[in-house]
Amino acid sequence: MRRLIEKGLMFGGLVLVDSPVLVERYKRALKHLTGKETALPDFHIDMSGFSPEIGDELGDEHYLNPPGFNRQFILLTTDQKKAPLLNARFSTSRGVLRQFIEANEAELFALTARDAVAGELVNSVYAADSPARLFDIRQVTVEADTTQGTVATAERLTGLIDRFKTEPDAWWDDTLIGEMIQLAGVTGDLSRNPVRLRSMTFEQDDFWTSHFGGVYILRSVPHPAAIVAGGKHALGPLPIADVLDLTDRTGIARFLSVNELAEPIVTGRGAEVAAVLRQKMDFIVAEVAGSEGHVSEATTRRDLRALARRYAGRLPQEWEGLAQLVAWAEDGARWPRITSDHPAYFYTLRAKRTPDADLVNMLLAELCPLDIRQLFICHKELFYRLYRTWSEAKQAFVAEVLAREYMVDKAGTRDALFGPEETMDEPAAPVAGPWGAPAKPSRPQRGDDIIDRVGPWDSLRRR
């Protein structure tokens, strides 16, 4: 994994902790939370305060998340909100922690000026001894305080101040006044430096978890379902009507359709659409050529096009289906019929701009493992797991491509793949997609707006 680290594709964006003061605060918080200690004089931390160097030192990469359910965190600076979250066991953890930091930024800035803030993302379930227990998770609450208990002390001081202001004889209560002075020595001036953290609870209706081999749970949609990475029967009975696994392609396509969660990447003819499809095709060629040692760090897009010609007839159906779409988009060829049972089907989709867009794109990435760029962007845990199984030559090629084509323009790449970010405008009427059969079976003519005439899910609904 060293190559990924050197190119900033792994452990990139971590916060460096090298100040003796901050190192000492971290050590105190680590001891407070876990009872463990570190002897490192400097290290890097992610959004939650997890350090890969300390994890390596302790031989435990989950030292801040031992049961995998209630992630603990250590905040030394509010700048941690920009860092990635490593070893995430739940897809919602990063969003929850970031919202907590942003909602309490002024208070956390004041608190971390004097001490580390330690806390926990408390799920409504503390452990899962069976897959069915995952469905008992309904919300997560953020609990946090400094290692010296400054927030709790401030709450107590606030209560004493209220007593002092309201009780008639408080002016003569030396015990009350003495306790207020003592507590103020810990909290400082509450009127200038507020230390009360908002109590925040987040609903957990839709999420992915790495537990039990990987499970997607979507309950807020009109037609809820669970989608599992392994065999669904191995999980036993689950308290949800529809349970699908990744081999149930038609079922997943129908689920995405009826809940209006996905849309086609291809929205009409044009060079931009064809470019996105060609990039996906190149990654598929790299998979085939890489298995025979014909890709390297120096392999270019032009080389991949030559390899595609060399391996013509041996490329998988995913490549063939995308090639047919490119021929339609660029040359006006016959419109290809790509249904849910076609291997290329999910390669042609992206999430709609809904609250579950990131989760849906994560699911689509797992359904399209040959598109290594989308896999890296949307499902890093799976990307890193697969990366370890590749040949060294393919690892070098993938790292170079991602560093050269994604890292230099993340926003532009994401915009091309997943569409522009949502604006404040009123949402437009939904646009019909291209994948089903036309209302009247006829060959599309040049200039026809096929997207308006063809719907992506007609065959599924009829089925």
Q: What's the pLDDT at 320?
A: 92
Q: Give Cβ neighbours of residue 447 (< 8 Å, ≥ 6 apart).
A: none
Taking the model in full, what pTM does it have? 0.81
Task: Please report the pLDDT score of residue 456 as a whole number.
Answer: 40
Q: What is residue 454's predicted lDDT score, i.e. its pLDDT?
A: 38
Here the tokens at position 379 are 């499902």
- pLDDT of amino acid 438: 32
Closest C-alpha to 244, from 256, 232, 261, 234: 232
For residue 15, list its beta bridge partners: 45
Phi, then psi, of 296 in degrees rounded to 5: -150, 180
pLDDT of residue 432: 34
75 and 17 in contact (C-beta within 8 Å)?
A: no
Question: How many Å apart are CA 383 and CA 374, to the nearest integer?
Answer: 9
Residue for token digits 């890489």? 290
Q: What is the 3-class SS of the chain, one letter each residue? A: CHHHHHCCCCCCCCEEECCHHHHHHHHHHHHHHHCCCCCCCCEEECCCCCCHHHHHHHCCCCCCCCCCCCCEEEECCHHHHHCCCCCCCECCHHHHHHHHHHHCHHHHHHHHCCCCEEEEEEECCCCCCCHHHHHHCCEEEEEEEECCCHHHHHHHHHHHHHHHHHCCCHHHCHHHHHHHHHHHHHHCCCCCCCCCCCCEEEECCEEEECHHHCEEEECCCCCCEEEECCCHHHHCCCCCCCEEECCCHHHHHHHHHHCCCEEECCCCCCHHHHHHHHHHHHHHHHHHHHCCCCCCCCCCHHHHHHHHHHCCCCCCHHHHHHHHHHHHHHHCCCCCCCCCCCCCHHHHEEECCCCCHHHHHHHHHHHCCCCHHHHHHHCHHHHHHHHCCCCHHHHHHHHHHHHHHCCCCHHHHHHHHHCCCCCCCCCCCCCCCCCCCCCCCCCCCCCCCHHHHCCCCHHHHHC
Nearest to 368 by CA among 249, 209, 207, 231: 249
Which pLDDT does position 283 carry in this prediction?
92
Q: In terms of Cα–Cα distance, which of 316, 289, 301, 221 is closest to 260?
A: 221
Strand duo 43-45 + 200-203: pairing:
unpaired
Residues 6+ apart with CB under 8 A from 28: 116, 147
- The count of other CB atoms within 10 Å of the CB of residue 50 is 24
What is the reported pLDDT for 225? 96
Going residue by residue through the chain (463 aa), what tens digit of pLDDT does each one get? 888 988 888 988 999 999 999 999 999 999 999 999 999 999 999 999 999 999 999 999 999 998 888 899 999 999 999 999 999 999 999 999 999 999 999 889 888 888 899 999 998 777 778 899 999 999 999 998 888 766 656 666 566 666 666 777 766 667 666 665 666 666 555 545 556 787 789 999 999 999 999 999 999 999 999 999 988 998 999 999 899 999 999 999 999 999 999 998 887 666 777 888 899 999 999 888 888 778 888 888 889 888 988 888 889 999 999 999 988 888 777 888 889 999 999 999 999 999 999 999 999 999 999 999 999 999 999 999 999 998 888 899 999 999 988 877 777 778 777 876 553 333 333 333 333 333 333 333 333 333 333 334 333 434 4
Q: What is the pLDDT of residue 193?
A: 54
Report the pLDDT value the prediction gives residue 166, as an integer from 0 to 100.
74
CA-angle at 291, arms to 367 and 287, nearest 5°: 35
Q: Shortest CA distance to 113 belongs to which of 191, 25, 33, 176? A: 25
Alpha-carbon distances of 23 from 43, 117, 166, rounded to whole Å:
8, 13, 43
> Are 253 and 263 in contact, with CB atoms under 8 Å apart?
no
| CB distance 44 to 96 below 8 Å | no
